[in-house]
Structure 1
Amino acid sequence: MGLARDIDLALHLPLRYEDETRVTRLGDARHGDTVQVEGVVTDSQITLRPRRQLVVTLDDGTDTVHLRFFSFYPAHQKTLAVGQRVRARGELRGGFLGREMVHPSFRAVDEHTPLATSLTPVYPTSASLPQAYLRKAVASGLARAWLDEILPAEVLPAGLPPLQQALQFLHHPPPATSVLTLEDRTHPAWQRLKFEELLAQQLSQLQAQRERARLRAPPLPLERGGLHERLLAALPFQLTGAQRRVVEEIAHDLQRPQPMHRLLQGDVGSGKTVVAALAAAIAIGAGWQCALMAPTEILAEQHFRKLVGWLEPLGIVTAWLTGSQKGKARRESMAQVADGQAQLVVGTHAVIQDQVEFARLGLAIIDEQHRFGVAQRLALRSKMKPSAGEEPHLLMMSATPIPRTLAMTYYADLDVSTIDELPPGRTPIVTKVFADTRREAVIERIRHEVAQGRQVYWVCPLIEESEKLDLQNATATHQQLGEALPGHMVGLLHGRMPAAEKAAVMSLFAGGQMAVLVATTVIEVGVDVPNASLMVIEHAERFGLSQLHQLRGRVGRGAVASVCVLLYTTPLSDTGKARLKAMAETHDGFEIARRDLEIRGPGEFLGARQSGAPLLRFANLEEDIGLVRHARRAAALMLEHHVGAAQAHVQRWLGGKAEYLKA
């Protein structure tokens, strides 16, 4: 369970509590109550009908109760033998033979056995680890753990107990404690723990940011009339105000001798690729190489095509590197990268494999950064020549905007640039939600669109049917649409197709020869076909909100009014309803990200950032925003005036896991 140190055991907090501080007389107990009773066993026997079970009768002098066990051991029978005095705790139910408890907890006692003086903790555990053992382990860990106060009084929010007292209280609350304040975590002891955790996380982020400020990176100066100005002049469109502002922020960072660590976020279709191209032009213009890495080959290829189209006429040599490249082509690409001939390298994570060497890597751009693991990002940063003692500037891009609360916590060490306006000429997308029973009407709408010369996406969640999920197989849908649209080309695209086949299908669709593309989510990001005006997402309830928003952004890229149809299968879960409602109500990526955080919690946004950096166990970003703000201020104050205390606090809470936060 990862509980390696005494402090880990001390911080392993109860899920809930049982009240074993009092005994209830059976005569006073009501059906449905969970109570602790004490009495003498008057009967104990194994019955075989309807299945083997141990039935024990307990009498406390005011009434009797049957204790029923479907799994039991000889030791249990010994403890529950006739004449034994037993204390049992469980839920009272009405049974065939009278009142009963099924599988209560129990132990042998005598008349003088004292009652518990505090509520009994029930800990999160794994199947093979009994509560009794875990309680002992936690109690001894709590007794041994070093829990002295580390934090100076001035950084603590008012009214919170010392850490040791808070932990003792949460493991063993006195009987009079309001269970509600324990369960909803509003009790001051809980607030103290949440604050400690948030402070550790803010400190490690701030330390990472300051350590990075001490690192060196090559300054990439802007030249008048340089490559980036020539690229701006050659572009067939004007940049939006937001794009210009973001390019300036990036250019300013690149001129400094510290590595840039910037996240560029912009909604689907806001024009992040051209910003990346301008950043690349600044690096290349200053005599350095630039690497652009995307999570899938399809996305990498989209970028490659766009960038080559913009940069090749300016004399820039671009290399292409992916996992599916083999033999001579791969060797040639790697040689171009190693001798510096290729000024721009585009590809998938093949770009960071050990055998790839760069002559002078000055800027690394990662698209859809949440899809890459921390280790992969660290590998990309280590691609500078070791002798240089420098690391490349890093620009990460994401079309899943990060909610403000996450930006303040998990991304506190990043500078964030936001493109918050769409290019002119983009049409708003109408979103419609239909049950799967309306499928025929949707196919009719497709006929209409295709007859007008427009193109359609149809997205399915899985490639082949699994017994568990009665999903309509992508191939079946492909066949059905092919039959419904005679005379029109209907293509199929999924993750298991060879790269060359995928590329052929995509080019037919992008070139307008193919009317309908049935695909799994490989088209989620970066596919740009302005003539596509209808997107149908089947089993929309199975997708995450940000994924639905990404998919919807594949249409509405031209001047034609576009529609996104979400097909769902009943019955819908509450989460499914909330997602579809959010999609129908808003197009704003930030609002969608906020709702996604509400529905799913932070795990989704961080992607692999949490490998090694656990998501907050105690604090809740939405509810505890006041504590987040306080922890931010406290972290800055401690790194200024109490450096030793800051180090000790991070070590106590994160141990060696702080490294991962620095990626």
Structure 2
Amino acid sequence: MAVLADRLDLLLGAKAATPLAEAFGITTVEDLLRHYPNRYATQGQPLTESDPPDGQHITIVGDIVKADMVKMKNRPGWMLKVVLQSESQKVDATFFNAHKVKHAVQAGRRAMFSGTVKYFRERWSLNHPSYLILPDVADHTAVQIDRVRGGGDLAGIARSALAPGQGVDMSIFDRKLLPVYPATSKIESWDIAHCVRQIFDQLDTVEDPLPSRIRNEHSLIGLDEALHLIHFPESEADVEKARSRLRFDEAAALQLVLAQRRNEMSARAAKSCPPRSDGIAAAFEDRLPFELTEGQHEVADEISADLSQPHPMSRLLQGEVGSGKTVVALRAMLQVVDAGQQCALLAPTEVLAAQHYRSLRAMLGPLGAGGELGAADESTRIVLLTGSMPTAAKRAALLAAVTGDAGIVIGTHALIQDNVEFFDLGMVVVDEQHRFGVEQRDALRSKAKSGFSPHLLVMTATPIPRTIAMTTLGDLETSTLRELPRGRSPIVTSVVPAKDKPAWVDRAWARINEEVAAGRQAYVVCSRIGDEKTGDKEPPTTHSALDMYEELKHGALRGVRVGLLHGRLPTDEKDAVMRGFNDGALDVIVCTTVVEVGVDVPNATVMVIVDADRFGVSQLHQLRGRIGRGGHKGLCILLSEANPVGPAFERLRAVAATNDGFELAVLDLRQRREGDILGAAQSGTVTTLRLLSLLDDLEVISAAQEFAREVVADDPGLERHPGLAAMMRSALDEQRLEYLEKS
């Protein structure tokens, strides 16, 4: 008999086990049984004399009375038009790969069809249904067939029940719910179903790793019952009972990893940085020309308390665009500098790194001019390090970092290079943390002195799906800034259907001219630069920054000073454009998303985003956060040639309807799904979550978190809980475990 920890190659043989391992990393019984069906094929609704509703799934059995090849009108090729006579009525079906099915789907044969009802001109039919050719007997469930002829789910399910030398027992189709598994071209759903059946034939009763107290408290069925019901349910109620239990397992597996991570982090050593009343941080607060918000004070106190501990802080600072995260982060860095240590600020782009450098120098004044004439008695030195800096400047920055002369080192990926060393790195601040991989953050954190880990503060203005997921699951302590500083006005956003309303597009350019005439500035953002090589491909249909710059400079904006900014400009040109815009020498910049984060020009009041449907929800919110940062209202205009009644345009309307970045983050999460929560993927195309939804199952996650932290506090290595350890490993592969150890 078999247990969950047994290897599949020993139970199924290498021929069956190898494709499972190669396609899904499934190597043990538990791995296979936790590869749950993603849906169930059903017998559908029985036909009556009345017509079924559009979109209803039906499964019917009958005699094929007609099967004609018909040439397609609008494209090359043939389709097979079929009529199936069931007990109650005739049903039309169409197969578009006629030459592949005509040998099996022939008049005079008995068949089972399964598909979705589609109406066309008041007649309904099944388009390309799955099908199975049946023995020519009335009671098809009582016989066995030796060869499966058919296509789609029905044929696959029949193949999964094919036993060597015994044929297929067609009674399998008596089941109301037939499992359909996530599959690939190399291992089909029915192959997986066949393996699952073989394993259940050999499986011992599964021991439950969850204590009965937890199961009773949350009304969960046992693991053995849940695994059987998820694969072979008799009803929808069975599916839901199984999913409820297995959903908790999934949450618990993730929470156990995160609880272990938190426990391990608390055991690491970091240099304590308690606040000083006579240091640079206190002097900085005294010279601030504005009052911090209540939220900023609260978050600053949370971070200050963390920095005072002898183990590393690991905190996410999330807040609305313009909520004052940079001031809070600078206050924290100065507390670390007061303790005699250094800080590294990692930014995703050179534009943002340079902006941070200028911004921090401006905010600190003489407090940030360490080593220069006019520096305050209590001061520190701030240096900038980017990959494209002149060699002499780069050497000077490297020297300041390694000697400890620089208290704050700001840079891009250049900070991660092997030749960058710090005298005593005490804190790492990562701005827009989703732009960096774990390996990159880990490389920077490893630059602390041996035996110590630096404190870590990661910041984001609009949490992207993975960020929400990580913080919901409890990987980081979270601080949130929701209120905007005094004097900030809400941004008005309008969506313009550019193809249908060209006059509205003209009005957008006129609006920029009006704002410039009033002494203010504007951005025009494009989705691509325009120097891309297309080769033999069709040229892009979107507007490029290069083309838009030329078009506006000589057209609608010819009376104003227009600059161009994109990521492939030489560094000195980028700096010159940003300085010109900052200083008011330029009225408008046509740019790409290099201005998405961190760029702060209070006089900019208008932003036009061209081809706005090409940007994500969070990205649009980030971009429009660049305007309205002074005393004047901001106006963001989203131009799109997308269908005004399509989903892309509806997404833009949703962005225009709210300035709440957290609400938009949830919208983004619903559209893109959670992403690979414990991996590096940012989109929802890959996910470690099989049954768990971070939006809909927060109560389950919370309960699992409480359980996991209780277990890990008592047994950090799970040595006394081998079942839980195995459950955790089944949810996470080795690559994801390594990811978490680094993060």
Q: Is TM more than 0.5 here?
A: yes
For 1:377-392, what aligned pairs fall within 5 Å after superposition?
Answer: 377-385=441-449, 388-392=450-454
Residue of structure 1 equivalent to 2:343: 290
* 1:524–1:573 Cα change, 3 Å: farther
* 1:527–1:52 Cα change, 3 Å: closer
For 1:283-362, what aligned pairs fall within 5 Å after superposition?
Answer: 283-309=336-362, 310=364, 311-312=368-369, 313-314=375-376, 315-325=379-389, 327-362=391-426
- Match 2:437 to one of 367, 373, 376: 373
Q: Distance in 2 between matches of 1:491 and 1:51?
A: 53
Residue of structure 2 equivalent to 1:502: 574
Which one-letter code corresponds to 2:132 in the other structure? F
8 Å CA contact 1:409, 1:628 repeated in 2: no
Structure 2 alignment gaps of length 5 or more: 1-22, 138-142, 145-169, 370-374
Residue of structure 2 equivalent to 1:106: 132
Task: Give the superposition deviation at 1:398.
Answer: 1.2
Query: Percent identity at matched positions?
Result: 40
8 Å CA contact 2:281, 2:338 repeated in 1: yes
Task: Give the superposition deviation at 1:292.
Answer: 0.5
- 1:198 correspondence with 2:260: no
Structure 1 alignment gaps of length 5 or more: none
Equivalent position SS for 1:242: helix
- Match 1:448 to one of 487, 494, 514: 514
Residue of structure 1 equivalent to 2:195: 137
After the TM superposition, which of the residue ranges 590-599 and 44-53 deviates more from structure 2?
A: 44-53
Task: Give the superposition deviation at 1:380.
Answer: 1.9
- Match 1:422 to one of 484, 488, 492: 484
* 1:71–1:145 Cα change, 3 Å: farther
Residue of structure 2 equivalent to 1:214: 267
Which one-letter code corresponds to 1:631 in the other structure? A
Residue of structure 2 equivalent to 1:648: 726
* 1:102–1:615 Cα change, 3 Å: closer
Equivalent position SS for 1:505: helix
* 1:360–1:144 Cα change, 3 Å: farther
Residue of structure 1 equivalent to 2:211: 152
Task: Give the superposition deviation at 1:534.
Answer: 1.2
Which one-letter code corresponds to 2:195 in the other structure? A
* 1:164–1:439 Cα change, 3 Å: same
Residue of structure 1 equivalent to 2:708: 635
Residue of structure 2 equivalent to 1:18: 41
- Match 1:482 to one of 531, 538, 553: 553
Task: Give the superposition deviation at 1:511.
Answer: 1.0
Task: Give the superposition deviation at 1:42.
Answer: 9.5
Residue of structure 2 equivalent to 1:168: 228
Task: Give the superposition deviation at 1:641.
Answer: 5.3
Q: Deviations over 1:167-226 (max 9, x none)?
A: 22222222xx24xx68xx7x1111111111111112211221111111110111333311
8 Å CA contact 1:426, 1:556 repeated in 2: yes
Equivalent position SS for 1:343: strand
Equivalent position SS for 2:394: helix
Q: Distance in 2 between matches of 1:430 and 1:382?
A: 44
Q: Distance in 2 between matches of 1:461 and 1:440?
A: 20
* 1:341–1:125 Cα change, 3 Å: same
Q: Deviations over 1:135-192 (max 9, x none)?
A: 3234445667785311111112544322232222222222xx24xx68xx7x111111
* 1:255–1:348 Cα change, 3 Å: same
Which one-letter code corresponds to 1:132 in the other structure? W
For 1:246-645, what aligned pairs fall within 5 Å after superposition?
Answer: 246-309=299-362, 310=364, 311-312=368-369, 313-314=375-376, 315-325=379-389, 327-385=391-449, 388-401=450-463, 406=468, 410-436=472-498, 437=501, 438-464=504-530, 467=538, 469-483=540-554, 484-572=556-644, 575-603=647-675, 608=680, 614-640=687-713, 643=718, 644-645=720-721
8 Å CA contact 1:402, 1:605 repeated in 2: no
Task: Give the superposition deviation at 1:510.
Answer: 0.8
Q: Distance in 2 between matches of 1:533 and 1:428?
A: 11
* 1:306–1:81 Cα change, 3 Å: closer
Task: Give the superposition deviation at 1:276.
Answer: 1.9
Segments ≥4 residues shifted beyond 6 Å = 24-33, 41-50, 52-70, 72-76, 79-83, 92-95, 98-101, 402-405, 604-607, 609-613
After the TM superposition, which of the residue ranges 234-243 and 286-295 deviates more from structure 2?
A: 234-243
Task: Give the superposition deviation at 1:577.
Answer: 4.4
* 1:630–1:404 Cα change, 3 Å: farther
* 1:52–1:391 Cα change, 3 Å: same
Q: Distance in 2 between matches of 1:635 and 1:212?
A: 16
Task: Give the superposition deviation at 1:441.
Answer: 1.0
Task: Give the superposition deviation at 1:640.
Answer: 4.4
Equivalent position SS for 1:555: coil
Which one-letter code corresponds to 2:728 in the other structure? V
Q: Deviations over 1:113-140 (max 9, x none)?
A: 2411433222222345433323323444
8 Å CA contact 2:404, 2:422 repeated in 1: yes
- Which protein, 1 or 2, shows the higher relative CO under an 8 Å CA cutoff with sep ≥ 6? 1
8 Å CA contact 2:640, 2:649 repeated in 1: no
Residue of structure 2 equivalent to 1:660: 739
Task: Give the superposition deviation at 1:426.
Answer: 2.3
8 Å CA contact 2:424, 2:448 repeated in 1: yes
Which one-letter code corresponds to 1:12 in the other structure? H
After the TM superposition, which of the residue ranges 251-260 and 352-361 deviates more from structure 2?
A: 352-361
Q: Distance in 2 between matches of 1:419 and 1:57?
A: 64
Q: Deviations over 1:403-452 (max 9, x none)?
A: 99947864513121223332222233332333222111111111111112
Q: Distance in 1 between matches of 2:84 and 2:494?
A: 62
8 Å CA contact 2:44, 2:58 repeated in 1: no
* 1:620–1:142 Cα change, 3 Å: farther
Q: Distance in 2 between matches of 1:575 and 1:597?
A: 15
* 1:28–1:225 Cα change, 3 Å: closer
Residue of structure 1 equivalent to 2:18: none
Residue of structure 2 equivalent to 1:37: 61
Q: Distance in 1 between matches of 2:100 and 2:644?
A: 47
Equivalent position SS for 1:251: helix
* 1:460–1:173 Cα change, 3 Å: same
Task: Give the superposition deviation at 1:308.
Answer: 2.8
Residue of structure 2 equivalent to 1:121: 179
* 1:107–1:503 Cα change, 3 Å: same
Q: Deviations over 1:67-93 (max 9, x none)?
A: 97665999995x77999x765333499
After the TM superposition, which of the residue ranges 206-215 and 560-569 deviates more from structure 2?
A: 560-569
Q: Distance in 1 between matches of 2:354 and 2:309?
A: 31
**Equivalenced residues, count:** 648
Q: Distance in 2 between matches of 1:126 and 1:585?
A: 40
Q: Distance in 2 between matches of 1:513 and 1:241?
A: 36
Q: Distance in 2 between matches of 1:13 and 1:603?
A: 18
After the TM superposition, which of the residue ranges 410-419 and 279-288 deviates more from structure 2?
A: 410-419
Q: Distance in 1 between matches of 2:48 and 2:654?
A: 51
Q: Distance in 2 between matches of 1:592 and 1:605?
A: 19
Task: Give the superposition deviation at 1:64.
Answer: 8.9
Equivalent position SS for 1:395: strand
Equivalent position SS for 1:458: strand
8 Å CA contact 2:464, 2:669 repeated in 1: no
RMSD: 3.9
* 1:588–1:102 Cα change, 3 Å: closer
8 Å CA contact 1:93, 1:99 repeated in 2: yes
Equivalent position SS for 1:495: coil
- 1:244 correspondence with 2:323: no
Task: Give the superposition deviation at 1:395.
Answer: 0.9
